[in-house]
Amino acid sequence: MLSDVMEDYLKAIYQLQRETDERIKTSAIAEELEVTSPTVTSMLDKLEERGLVDREKYRGVTLTDEGETVALEVVRHHRLLEAYLTEHLDYDWAEVHEEADRLEHHISEDFEARVADALDQPTVDPHGSPIPSADLERPERPDGKSVTEYEEGDVVTVEEVADRDAEVLTYLADHGVEPGVELEIVEVAPFGMITARSSRRDGTVSLPESIAHHVRVAQPAEVDG
């Protein structure tokens, strides 16, 4: 019914939508999927025909409920796979993305269920990203904001590291930035770079703004104020 490529487009639109809340532009999808804009336009025609996206010419698209359901299914596959690979096949969190990206389109519902069972129905993947539930209801937006919204002196808990680059992830793990750790923000540079002290490592770690932006954190129970 739906091709792998169509699933990729829907997933891309879904993920872009989570970040911006606005209609998604052709060019944003093109960049995400590394294809040209005309290619995206023609695929959007097809997705619109099938009722998977709402479209306004020249103004971008949003997912329909049906399109979102498909996207959630793909995202569920992806994140379950990431979790399974780290838990049962000794993968590092930096390596799982690529493998999951290829496998996510090719597993059966049966496989999905067995993997979920083996992991005891996990709710987050190794990067702290929420795994959509089996019923594919629209998950609520996780609370917690980007670490870039905090200030010097704040102490926060890392909830999600939404980066996909293997080298970046390895660097972050080596410097104690992973879901679950506490960060004390020691400096916010004028150009956005954040320097923090991790509860898991000596010394400090510095995150350029583009990377810090993908680190979602929550403030632990406040000590004062």
Partner DNA sequence: CATCGCGTTTAGCCTCGTCTAACCCTAAAT
Partner DNA sequence: ATTTAGGGTTAGACGAGGCTAAACGCGATG
Q: Which residues bind a copy of itself (CB under 8 A)?
A: 88-91, 95, 98-99, 102-103, 105-108, 110-111, 114-115, 117-118
44 is an interface residue for DNA by CB under 7 A? yes
Find which of DNA, a copy of itself, none residue 1 binds, CB within 5 to 8 Å per kind. none
Taking the C-alpha atoms of residue 180 and residue 177, their distance in angstroms, rounded to an integer, is 9
Count helices and strands (H / E) in the chain: 8, 8
Of 189, 163, 191, 188, the closest CA to residue 177 belongs to 163
Find which of DNA, a copy of itself, none residue 25 binds, CB within 5 to 8 Å per kind. DNA
Taking the C-alpha atoms of residue 123 and residue 70, their distance in angstroms, rounded to an integer, is 18
Q: Note the Cα 86 to chain centre separation in Å.
A: 16
**Comparison of 79 and 216: residue with beta carbon closer to a copy of itself:** 79
**Comparison of 39 and 146: residue with beta carbon closer to DNA:** 39
58 is an interface residue for DNA by CB under 7 A? yes
DSSP assignment of 46-83, as one string? HHHHTTSEEEETTTEEEE-HHHHHHHHHHHHHHHHHHH
CB of 4 to DNA, least distance (A): 7
Piece of the chain touching DNA by CB under 7 A; list 43-51, 71-79, 119-127, 164-172:
43-51
Find which of DNA, a copy of itself, none residue 80 binds, CB within 5 to 8 Å per kind. none
The answer to whether 29 touches 9, Cβ cutoff 8 Å, is yes
Residue type, 77: H
Find which of DNA, a copy of itself, none residue 91 binds, CB within 5 to 8 Å per kind. a copy of itself
118 is an interface residue for DNA by CB under 7 A? no
Find which of DNA, a copy of itself, none residue 107 binds, CB within 5 to 8 Å per kind. a copy of itself
**Comparison of 65 and 117: residue with beta carbon closer to a copy of itself:** 117
Find which of DNA, a copy of itself, none residue 15 binds, CB within 5 to 8 Å per kind. none
Cα dihedral: 89, 91, 95, 99 (round 10): 0
The answer to whether 9 touches 43, Cβ cutoff 8 Å, is yes
Q: What is residue 41's three-state secondary structure?
A: helix
CB of 89 to a copy of itself, least distance (A): 5
| Binding positions for DNA, rule: CB under 7 A | 3-6, 25-28, 30, 34-46, 55, 57-60
